[in-house]
Structure 1
């Protein structure tokens, strides 16, 4: 018997496009084992059955150098005599922001029992019901799922598995999935926004389906064709859909009124050959869900049904949506629609952090931010459930800190750090997206600012987790990043992007939304970030006993600080001026921004005169504001400048405008553009990188800031502002679990967990226990 598994594949697959193949292995058991741990992975996804019992799916996403395998205990499913392993393997066979897919392949192992390898009884065959030549669902997340259920009954001979040949796949490190199992919850739609009749559609012309859905007329539908439509919401009985005139189908737009991150399930009884198309969205555009954009976005799946019961869902891809449009065509007898459900599949966070006050809108902002963070957490911290489902490492600056405030430290934080640091690049810098795709016409996604954020991300994680080992693990990587970034410095220590870092020097969308960019530009923010990140590194590395070249780090920092104001401060305008570029023609443009002044103020290196100018400039309405995302820095600068009230006013104004729409989640853009107006109409309505107000509510209003890892020591300086009361919890990694605060007009209450100490502004230290103080 073999004692090492190999990656296996299937012959006869289409040369292009995404593919599915089946794999099986039959083997005999004379006795039942007490335990049988099955390890299994695939490029890109698998679904697994043992002895006709569904076991699970996976794997979690990896990077360009890492794959992960799932582990299942299958001993209870085994039997004396013949046993069967059966898997469906779906492979994108392209590189995008979700899958680094190289070859359709499967890997499986039960030690001492089962090892995937060609020539050892492993059989495979192409899954003919899955169409390969299909459009992208979105460019970033991969292909549409197009499946013909009738092919399930078509016999096809099995053939021996072959060895996977892609060297990059074979060279990837294979690690166990460290994440807990994700629970699933089911939601029914709350409303049918419209029922309508539609004309015919050639489902075999897959690339035309999104265009047809976007352009076809929605015609009046005879009420007699829909019987018991309320069953969609009540779950009592079924909806009966009656056929219309030849060539006439019907459609419905269903609203779930919340963000679903997982999949859609449709259970129905229909005649063979019925076709079904699904479009997914978050809002209507012109009375329908948009499936045609300036980018390669289609948000569409398609199916052909078999006779009888069908359970229609995306078998391998996850989808995000608030609304769906379902079109059903080509049926000549009544259809029994049993169920339409949205299936949420999110990381199993516990909502440990809280905030509640006399201001409804602030409470709602905290709730909406918490829901947004939950909806954007799966096997990574995603940017959004609907459009990309990508792990943008730059977003981790906010996603990391905000989830720490709302949920506390988790395995997902550690997993995302491992992914972020895993991908090598010749520049020795990290990619801003994991996995990093090689896509025609695209840059390498090496964002210089993102690399400097990593030290700030580690410190935020350290404060909430007290996890010295994880932070210490990545300090050598941070040193390499600093050395690589320093190659961008000129003789004055001023950093300017070049090479791969100049291709897309991304900060936040406030620049692009105003026809500006920082690509190959002489801007100040990178030098400020270098000062902030390198001083943070020195602080953390010293505390953890990490050996580094302190004198060289300090020399570089002093050089940058000494020359910064000479280079960027304009005596003419009396402001820091950046050389940016116009996105219209790439010509240089001189601009002053609130972000540049906030960052220079946060370095602590500004001269007294310029520091005072910066304190004023961050409030200057004539200067470009950051969008939601990089208020991470603006709120810190405002607090340090004594402008906490202004920061609170800004939260109420700009985050409040999103809350006032009734949206259950936070928009991607809310300052320069709004909601769906962003990104040429493809703006996300659930985007986690804007959730930084949760940190302000905890740190400034409740007044709790970590001074030591794990909140072993924290400052306590609450500010009730105009609130009648405010209270909340801040999760900490000690047995009692939370710091509790309650503020009223008369008193302040603080509960300090065991192992923690609070430090008041006057230096008084409060040990573990309950403390009631007079309000100030």
Structure 2
């Protein structure tokens, strides 16, 4: 008991000391009149002398909106801060260990702040530019207060038209090198550049930034500065255009080396995505000074080509770029003999990566918005491809969706957002359900997050009612969007997603011990199933109010949800051979339904046919929002939801999927379809899982690796008249016997502990 009390006192003292430290630090800003205008850049300086360098010194830094940190002239953080916010009120803060950058004696802390100052589909503005900094250097405090010096950076300003579309909170960056303040990070900035004392605007937790939430994802990966080697000059009547071609579409900051004997010339900087997606997106402008100069535009752009419009008298000596992105690695691998699907996999990886940063988002140019229909697909892709650091981005997304829930229970996306709050009912159901929150849990085992967001799931589902037939009643939401494209049987699209949302909620309730909730969800599921099946007209699912062509989407939803029984499969298969209405977003679910119905060969053929244009198009390294460049939603050509088939290749062709949370138990059930071979490596939370098959007329050869602490349940073709060997030894009766829960009626089921295996099934 005494020990418990002492621990409690220690924790209490620590929390009190933390609060005192936070109370000492102040939000600070510039006293200048225009400080809260949009697209304002503020330079901060603080010099401090220390007697010895600490072994560890964690600085807590929060801003609205982004910052760059130098210590003693050395870059420490390139683009810190996250777009607001964790909920509609609060702000994220970073933690940075600055100890490696400090030295005994005088140290110069420099921060450049970029205040967006406007709303967007990915950011909620606080309405006030500000910085708060809090660090303890052994016995010495380093906190932001009025002793810090600051100044609005005079070289930064707004560009002329065209301006970015309203969805983007970022502005075009215009930099006038004639107004630059040079080496302000280390120079005597007060006497040389007129820095003055900052003004205090509040303490830790004060409005308008409110509570501060620790950054839940890593800082960006910096791939370093590289030289663009493919340069082309296009002569113009007045100005020349320099084009630099990059290896692939990427998130990057352009860097230019130019010389100008006079100065005052405007160079326009943009990419091949500045006018992509049907809207005007971000670009930059640079006004030269006299002589040689080097400039990096700090607001990231995306694209595969950098364009400079260069006036006469300006010489371009080189173009470089700094690629940055979410801090993760490609650890998943896929291989098959089909060159189309190898190209698809590579493009899907590139498309997925370029749509991760502060959040998962739909596209990196037009919106950068966390639409949750996209997020569901992106999470599925990430589980099979990128390292588990992506799980942090997923957790952030899951928590944000719940935290932005309206008082009436409505969920909406994109969040965070300052100028959009409309519910897309179909996307919200997909998000909280089987393919969204449940898939997050079964892959990660993160029960705490599910426990935290479950009340939001329950509250949202309570808004959905049933009609007299038992079918999900129509809910218009703010935008009745079921998918891009035509012939949308919206009542059944929503009902299918509603059923899957209930299924996911029931499974979450089971895990959390909420048995009454689980029972209620399954009772509603049964009624929805009956209502959905009452819409079967003998050859297809079609709602009586719907008058268009048969919707392939609702047939697929019926299959993947389990609403459709196997007697309906032949008719559904016929329809999916003739109906092609789904956009790339929902085509993934059609492909999955075909595999479930035993039509893996046609699933691969249909997907190949629909995606062939964008996959085979050598002009792009990414996949499109629609079926071509001018497709749905404005024609984004880097839309990560189009990589959804990647998940189907992993889960159905290669057959790997978790059966218990965090891959404690997982299945291997390859469906070779028409493929002679395929293999996959999956970066699961339990370790890398490897599986590959070779399929011939003589049988099936399966090689796989089971990580320590896990178990693989392998489903093989029925073993009558077949010989099964495991690592060269014939399978004996009772060997590798699984639990009854995992046994399959029509397949030979085996359970394998950790290790390497070669299983041969001979006809």
TM range (shorter): 0.7 to 0.9
Which runs of structure 2 are paired with 1:676-691 in the superposition (5 Å)? Answer: 676-679=629-632, 682-691=634-643
**Kept in 1: contact 2:134–2:144 (CA 8 A):** no
Match among 740, 749, 758 for residue 691 of structure 2: 740
Match among 245, 250, 258 for residue 268 of structure 1: 258
CA 1:301/1:727 → structure 2, altered by over 3 Å: closer, same or farther? Answer: same
Deviation at 1:663, TM superposition (A): 4.8
Which runs of structure 2 are paired with 1:116-265 in the superposition (5 Å)? Answer: 116=143, 118=145, 120-132=146-158, 136-141=163-168, 142-153=170-181, 155-163=193-201, 169-189=208-228, 191-197=230-236, 219=237, 248-265=238-255
- For the aligned residue pairs, the C-alpha RMSD in angstroms reads 3.1
Deviation at 1:601, TM superposition (A): 3.0
Deviation at 1:402, TM superposition (A): 0.7
Structure 2 CA distance for aligned equivalents of residues 277 and 133 of structure 1:
10
Deviations 1:720-773 (A, max 9, x none): 3333332222333324x2132132425412223132222322223334331221
Structure 1 CA distance for aligned equivalents of residues 230 and 310 of structure 2:
18
Which runs of structure 2 are paired with 1:515-530 in the superposition (5 Å)? Answer: 523-530=491-498
CA 1:190/1:430 → structure 2, altered by over 3 Å: closer, same or farther? Answer: farther
> Where in structure 2 are there 5+ consecutive unaligned residues?
1-19, 182-191, 716-746
Structure 2 CA distance for aligned equivalents of residues 716 and 407 of structure 1:
20
Give SS of 1:311's match. strand
> Is it true that 1:495 corresponds to 2:472 in the alignment?
yes
Aligned counterpart, 2:527: 559
**Kept in 2: contact 1:569–1:576 (CA 8 A):** yes
Match among 505, 508, 519 for residue 483 of structure 2: 508
Structure 2 CA distance for aligned equivalents of residues 766 and 122 of structure 1:
62
User: Bigger shift: 103-112 or 547-556?
Assistant: 547-556
Structure 1 CA distance for aligned equivalents of residues 254 and 159 of structure 2:
23
Structure 1 CA distance for aligned equivalents of residues 609 and 272 of structure 2:
27
Aligned counterpart, 2:30: 10
**Kept in 1: contact 2:471–2:530 (CA 8 A):** no
Give SS of 1:524's match. helix
User: Bigger shift: 89-98 or 611-620?
Assistant: 611-620
Match among 378, 394, 401 for residue 413 of structure 1: 394
Give SS of 2:124's match. coil
Structure 1 CA distance for aligned equivalents of residues 587 and 256 of structure 2:
41
Which runs of structure 2 are paired with 1:556-635 in the superposition (5 Å)? Answer: 556-566=524-534, 568-569=535-536, 575-577=541-543, 590-606=548-564, 613-621=571-579, 624-635=580-591
> Is it true that 1:310 corresponds to 2:293 in the alignment?
yes
User: Bigger shift: 646-655 or 386-395?
Assistant: 386-395
Deviations 1:88-134 (A, max 9, x none): 2111111112332221111111136446555x413332222222475
**Kept in 2: contact 1:192–1:254 (CA 8 A):** yes
CA 1:431/1:278 → structure 2, altered by over 3 Å: closer, same or farther? Answer: same
CA 1:163/1:446 → structure 2, altered by over 3 Å: closer, same or farther? Answer: farther
**Kept in 1: contact 2:270–2:282 (CA 8 A):** yes
CA 1:352/1:433 → structure 2, altered by over 3 Å: closer, same or farther? Answer: same
Match among 593, 618, 621 for residue 637 of structure 1: 593
Deviation at 1:423, TM superposition (A): 1.6
> Is it true that 1:762 corresponds to 2:744 in the alignment?
no
> Is it true that 1:723 corresponds to 2:747 in the alignment?
no
Aligned counterpart, 2:705: 752
Deviation at 1:145, TM superposition (A): 0.6
CA 1:58/1:277 → structure 2, altered by over 3 Å: closer, same or farther? Answer: same
**Kept in 1: contact 2:701–2:760 (CA 8 A):** yes
Match among 684, 687, 710 for residue 662 of structure 2: 710
Give SS of 1:749's match. strand
CA 1:544/1:768 → structure 2, altered by over 3 Å: closer, same or farther? Answer: farther
CA 1:725/1:325 → structure 2, altered by over 3 Å: closer, same or farther? Answer: same
**Kept in 1: contact 2:505–2:521 (CA 8 A):** no
**Kept in 2: contact 1:276–1:302 (CA 8 A):** yes
Structure 1 CA distance for aligned equivalents of residues 276 and 503 of structure 2:
47
Structure 2 CA distance for aligned equivalents of residues 190 and 2 of structure 1:
50
**Kept in 2: contact 1:703–1:717 (CA 8 A):** yes
Deviations 1:63-105 (A, max 9, x none): 2344222222223433455443222211111111233222111
Deviation at 1:345, TM superposition (A): 1.0
> Is it true that 1:322 corresponds to 2:304 in the alignment?
yes
Aligned counterpart, 1:375: 354
Give SS of 1:7's match. strand
**Kept in 1: contact 2:591–2:607 (CA 8 A):** no
**Kept in 2: contact 1:37–1:73 (CA 8 A):** yes
Structure 2 CA distance for aligned equivalents of residues 552 and 697 of structure 1:
34
**Kept in 1: contact 2:679–2:690 (CA 8 A):** no
**Kept in 2: contact 1:6–1:115 (CA 8 A):** no
**Kept in 2: contact 1:749–1:771 (CA 8 A):** yes
> Is it true that 1:387 corresponds to 2:366 in the alignment?
yes
Structure 2 CA distance for aligned equivalents of residues 443 and 72 of structure 1:
33
Deviation at 1:599, TM superposition (A): 1.3
**Kept in 1: contact 2:361–2:371 (CA 8 A):** yes
Deviation at 1:190, TM superposition (A): 5.0
> Is it true that 1:430 corresponds to 2:404 in the alignment?
no
> Where in structure 1 are there 5+ consecutive unaligned residues?
198-218, 220-247, 283-289, 581-588
> Is it true that 1:701 corresponds to 2:653 in the alignment?
yes
Aligned counterpart, 1:48: 69
Match among 734, 746, 759 for residue 772 of structure 1: 759
Give SS of 2:271's match. strand
Match among 91, 99, 102 for residue 78 of structure 1: 102
> Is it true that 1:108 corresponds to 2:138 in the alignment?
no
CA 1:727/1:751 → structure 2, altered by over 3 Å: closer, same or farther? Answer: same
Deviations 1:639-675 (A, max 9, x none): 222222211101221223222212553322354xx1x
> Is it true that 1:361 corresponds to 2:340 in the alignment?
yes
Deviations 1:146-180 (A, max 9, x none): 11121124833514323169975332433134325
CA 1:552/1:13 → structure 2, altered by over 3 Å: closer, same or farther? Answer: same
Match among 33, 37, 46 for residue 54 of structure 2: 33
Give SS of 1:727's match. strand
CA 1:491/1:108 → structure 2, altered by over 3 Å: closer, same or farther? Answer: farther
Deviation at 1:636, TM superposition (A): 2.4
Deviations 1:265-296 (A, max 9, x none): 112333432321112115xxxxxxx649864x
Superposition TM-score, scaled by structure 2 size: 0.82
Aligned counterpart, 2:272: 281
**Kept in 2: contact 1:281–1:299 (CA 8 A):** no
Give SS of 1:721's match. coil
Aligned counterpart, 2:10: none
**Kept in 1: contact 2:432–2:505 (CA 8 A):** no
User: Bigger shift: 696-705 or 102-111?
Assistant: 696-705
Aligned counterpart, 1:210: none
Give SS of 2:662's match. helix
Structure 2 CA distance for aligned equivalents of residues 413 and 600 of structure 1:
27
Structure 2 CA distance for aligned equivalents of residues 101 and 330 of structure 1:
40
Match among 432, 449, 454 for residue 470 of structure 1: 449
Give SS of 2:113's match. strand
Aligned counterpart, 1:454: 432
Give SS of 1:669's match. coil
Deviation at 1:182, TM superposition (A): 1.3
Deviation at 1:43, TM superposition (A): 0.4
**Kept in 2: contact 1:250–1:328 (CA 8 A):** yes
Structure 1 CA distance for aligned equivalents of residues 514 and 227 of structure 2:
53
